[in-house]
């Protein structure tokens, strides 16, 4: 019988995106039919003399690098708060809020890795309410657990829980949020309870960490800890994605000043210094949020930084006027080591009555294009009028 080349795969964990369980014992499948969403421990190229696995003649190890994808697509968005039952249920969307995601779900699910910042807690009721010095500036977000199912159905893999609303309902809210995300198979990071995570997505091992200046989160101000965390992840994973919640809020704070920023007396960090420190120590993708408006994009050492992705899907109790209503999806392509290749900005806008919808005015593209030129004239990327991000260093 003519010899055939197969791949013998030992599979140990179920797939992430497909939510299908993989076989628990070794199986042989043709090399050209390996699914990208199957986690693989060991791969061997074998020669088969007969029709059964007992006829295997030779085993040749294949380096896992040969199975890694040429291009990894990452979709990233800013702040997400799908509705809150505090102070009352009038701030919840109808049904389970699935309709808010209708126009963006296909884009988010298409990506290999999808990221967002969860602004608030997932908790049906109760919790220890955060006290505010100024009640007029105090907004507490408590989303019922059924709202979170939309994250799964929209394809989210990674969520930052490092922000100023993570502790709105104390330890009860913080830990329940993590419990729910765990139950949904969504990897999270940024809480003092779980500073970082390592997960497998397809054939790639992803390191994920997140930081903020707020109680209950991993601090953006402790640089030595940030460096140690990212260096640790870099030694264990293929791509390190780092997120920060930092920078002053609002339309008066669009620009990356490269200086320390303050907002109502709170030290919101130097985002330029922070992002560069992250990449210098092994981060491959840096995703910012916090100002509630979009900011510039920069490519530094062949790695991409989005300084703020603004609001994305924030139902009720958020200011969505003007720049605050811009809700882009940043779609980026990297190689299997995290090196930036190219990308695209999808322009969307949200209002008080609906979730993100296509913006015919392309306002978020224009804003990011303008700010990137103003703040980083040395930037080795161009953003065209359709939102395509072209890396000039390729």
Query: What ranges in 69-185 are assigned the alpha helix state H?
Result: 105-110, 149-153, 170-183
28-34: long-range contacts at Cβ-Cβ below 8 A with a sequence spacing of 24 or more? 28/53, 28/56, 30/6, 31/5, 31/6, 31/7, 34/7, 34/9, 34/67
Say yes or no: 42 and 121 in one domain. no
Q: What is the pLDDT of residues 177-192, one digit of tens each?
A: 999 999 999 999 999 9
Q: How does residue 34 score in pLDDT terms, banded at 50, 70 and 90?
A: very low
Q: What is the pLDDT of residues 168-225, one digit of tens each?
A: 999 999 999 999 999 999 999 999 999 999 999 988 999 999 999 999 999 999 999 9
What's the mean per-residue pLDDT of the chain? 87
Question: What distance lies between CA 226 and its chain's CA centroid?
Answer: 18
Sign, Cα dihedral of 99, 388, 212, 108: positive
Say yes or no: 88 and 55 in one domain. no
Say yes or no: 198 and 309 in one domain. yes
How far, in Å, are 39, 131, 198 from residue 204 at the CA level? 8, 42, 10
Question: What distance lies between CA 80 and its chain's CA centroid?
Answer: 11
Q: Which of 21, 37, 67 is the last residue of a domain?
A: 67
Are 352 and 314 in contact by the 8 Å Cβ rule? The answer is no
Q: What is the pLDDT of residues 303-360, one digit of tens each?
A: 999 999 999 999 988 989 999 999 999 999 999 999 999 999 999 999 988 999 999 9
Three-state secondary structure call for residue 247: coil
Task: Quickly count: other Cβ atoms within 10 Å of residue 265's Cβ.
Answer: 6
- Mean pLDDT value across residues 38-60: 52
Q: Encoding tokens for residue 1?
A: 């019988």
Question: Out of 4-18, 124-138, 174-188, 254-268, which region has the weakest mean confidence (pLDDT)?
Answer: 4-18
Say yes or no: 143 and 266 in one domain. yes
d(CA 314, CA 369) in angstroms, rounded, equals 24
Question: Out of 25-29, 152-156, 180-184, 258-262, which region has the weakest mean confidence (pLDDT)?
Answer: 25-29
Are 81 and 33 in contact by the 8 Å Cβ rule? The answer is no
pLDDT of 65 reads: 56
DSSP letter (8 states) at residue 155: T
User: Is-cis flag, bond preceding 87, omega within 30?
Assistant: yes
Q: What is the pLDDT of residues 353-381, one digit of tens each?
A: 899 999 999 999 999 999 999 999 999 99
Helix 271-280 to helix 223-236 angle, to the nearest 10 degrees? Answer: 30
Say yes or no: 76 and 63 in one domain. no
Residue range of the domain that includes 121:
72-391
* pLDDT > 50? residue 35: no
Say yes or no: 146 and 240 in one domain. yes
Q: Encoding tokens for residue 171?
A: 């330890």
375 contact partners, CB below 8 Å, separation of at least 6: 255, 256, 295, 296, 298
Say yes or no: 211 and 346 in one domain. yes
Total of domains in the chain: 2
Q: Which of 24, 45, 67 is the last residue of a domain?
A: 67
Q: Encoding tokens for residue 390?
A: 């072209």
Say yes or no: 280 and 325 in one domain. yes
pLDDT of 367 reads: 98
Percent of the chain with pLDDT over 70: 82
* pLDDT > 80? residue 237: yes
Residue 358, strand partner residues: 348
d(CA 96, CA 101) in angstroms, rounded, equals 11
Q: How does residue 24 score in pLDDT terms, banded at 50, 70 and 90?
A: very low
| DSSP conformation letters of 159-221 | EE--STTTTTTHHHHHHHHHHHHHHTT-EEE-BTTBSEEEEEETTEEEEEEEEBSSTTB-BSS
Q: CA geometry: angle at 324 spanning 318 and 327, to 5°?
A: 100
- Where residue 267 sits, what CATH number does that domain have? 3.60.21.10
Say yes or no: 150 and 90 in one domain. yes
Q: Which of 67, 97, 120 is the last residue of a domain?
A: 67
pLDDT of 132 reads: 76
- Mean pLDDT value across residues 230-258: 97
Say yes or no: 14 and 129 in one domain. no
301 contact partners, CB below 8 Å, separation of at least 6: 279, 280
Task: Quickly count: other Cβ atoms within 10 Å of residue 23's Cβ.
Answer: 12
Say yes or no: 104 and 79 in one domain. yes
Say yes or no: 31 and 161 in one domain. no
């Amino acid at each position: 019988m003519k010899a055939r080349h197969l791949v013998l795969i030992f599979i140990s964990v179920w797939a992430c995106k497909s939510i299908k369980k993989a076989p628990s014992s070794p199986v042989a499948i043709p090399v050209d039919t390996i699914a990208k969403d199957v986690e693989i421990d060991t791969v061997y190229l074998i020669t088969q003399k007969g029709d059964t696995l007992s006829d295997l003649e030779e085993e040749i190890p294949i380096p896992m690098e040969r199975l890694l994808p040429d291009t990894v697509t990452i979709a990233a968005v800013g702040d997400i708060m799908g509705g809150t039952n505090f102070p009352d249920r009038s701030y919840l969307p109808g049904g389970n809020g699935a309709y808010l995601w209708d126009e963006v779900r296909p884009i988010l699910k298409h990506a290999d890795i999808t990221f967002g910042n969860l602004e608030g807690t997932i908790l049906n009721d109760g919790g220890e309410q955060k006290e505010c010095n100024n009640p007029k500036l105090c907004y507490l977000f408590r989303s019922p657990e059924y709202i979170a199912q939309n994250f799964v159905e929209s394809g989210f893999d990674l969520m930052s829980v490092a922000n100023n609303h993570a502790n709105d309902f104390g330890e009860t809210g913080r830990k329940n949020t993590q419990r729910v995300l765990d139950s949904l198979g969504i990897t999270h990071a940024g809480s003092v309870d779980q500073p970082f995570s390592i997960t497998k997505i397809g054939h790639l091992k992803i390191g994920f960490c997140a930081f903020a200046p707020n109680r209950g989160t991993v601090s953006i101000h402790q640089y030595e800890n940030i460096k140690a965390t990212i260096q640790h992840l870099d030694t264990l994973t293929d791509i390190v994605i780092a997120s920060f919640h930092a920078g002053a809020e609002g339309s008066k704070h669009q620009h990356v000043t490269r200086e320390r920023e303050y907002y109502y007396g709170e030290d919101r960090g130097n985002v330029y210094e922070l992002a560069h420190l992250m990449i210098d120590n092994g981060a491959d993708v840096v995703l910012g949020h916090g100002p509630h408006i979009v900011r510039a994009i920069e490519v530094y050492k062949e790695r991409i930084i989005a300084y703020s992705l603004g609001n994305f899907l924030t139902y009720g109790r958020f200011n969505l006027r003007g720049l605050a209503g811009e809700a882009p999806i940043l779609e980026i392509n990297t190689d299997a080591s995290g090196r930036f290749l190219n990308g695209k900005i999808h322009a969307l806008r949200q209002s008080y009555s609906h979730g993100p919808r296509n913006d015919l005015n392309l306002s978020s593209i224009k804003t990011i294009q303008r700010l990137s030129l103003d703040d980083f004239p040395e930037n080795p990327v161009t953003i065209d009028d359709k939102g395509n991000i072209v890396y000039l260093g390729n």
